[in-house]
Structure 1
């Protein structure tokens, strides 16, 4: 039944409108500032680099959300960190899709990332957007503390990727 409803939303353009509405209503400048600060704080305790990308309307050139997440991972240069510890949390609001993609330096399992996304999805269903994102960032921080390489001897923990969520 829900797939028929989702198909109807896509055909009528309703999913695009819903994605734009969600972004305007819930992902305002104040919320994005709070998220950026939380990401900055979380990155102090590990060498991972988290980028949050929020897409209100998915582009028509990429119908597959998983492929779109990979495209965004590359476009935003999340892979471009000294220790290969970039992590993308991708949200497609119109498709109600979320995925985490981690670079090769992060030794975390797909099941760990899927659990984060499942928790975030549940919060979004309950319309707890900010609380859900904060909880996801907290869980990602815990994973990255154990899944990322330590700071190299004599080195320092650098902040190599932007902390401000990217609106696509």
Structure 2
């Protein structure tokens, strides 16, 4: 653990709400709903400002935390095993995408990494909303390719509203 990382997590608890105000959360929610109209997958967008300081002291990574959030939000528990989590850890400037086994078996990890890289670049440029929507759209494009809608109603198994942890 570095002192800089500890300091970021100690003082940055409200940054996520400034980066993603209610209007931005509304727009991301609409992008998720529009994407899910094109496929049978489920997209979950989770934003966490900081880790608890105990996790920082234990050197918990954003990837480890994303796995915990994936399980806690039950992204793995969708009908077609096609849930995808986009996890943003603001203090570490980290973005992780985790896919359930149904979609992970069809999509190489490099595709998810590529989307994370694009999001990170947009976020570093201060373009949080457009970056988030671009990421949601890219994930939905992949889901539409592998789990296209068949015209029947698909239950919304995960909330479309981004979750602020």
Per the normalisation by structure 1, the TM-score is 0.87
Q: Measure the CA separation in 1 of the matches of 2:156 and 2:26.
A: 17
Residues 100-146 of structure 1, C-alpha deviation per residue, up to 9 Å, x if partnerless? 00001112110100000000000111111011001111111111111
Name the CA distance, whole Å, in 2 between partners of 1:73 and 1:54: 12
Partner of 2:42: 49
- Tell me, yes or no, if the aligned pair for 2:75 and 2:85 is still in contact at 8 Å: yes
Shift of 1:58: 1.3
Pairs within 5 Å for 1:55-94: 55-59=48-52, 60-61=54-55, 63-94=60-91
Match of residue 3 from structure 1: none
Q: Is the 8 A contact 1:88 1:102 kept in 2?
A: yes
**How far off is 1:155 after superposition?**
5.0
Q: Does residue 136 of structure 2 align to residue 137 of structure 1? A: yes
Q: May I ask how many residue pairs the two structures share in their alignment?
A: 159
**TM-score when scaled to structure 2?**
0.88
1:46 alignment partner, SS class: coil
Cα RMSD between the aligned structures? 1.9
Unaligned runs of 5+ in 2: none
Whether 1:14 aligns to 2:8 is yes
Structure 1 Cα separation of the partners of residues 10 and 26 of structure 2: 25
The corresponding residue for 1:27 is: 20
Secondary structure class of the residue paired with 1:94: helix
- Aligned to 1:52, what secondary structure does the other structure show? strand
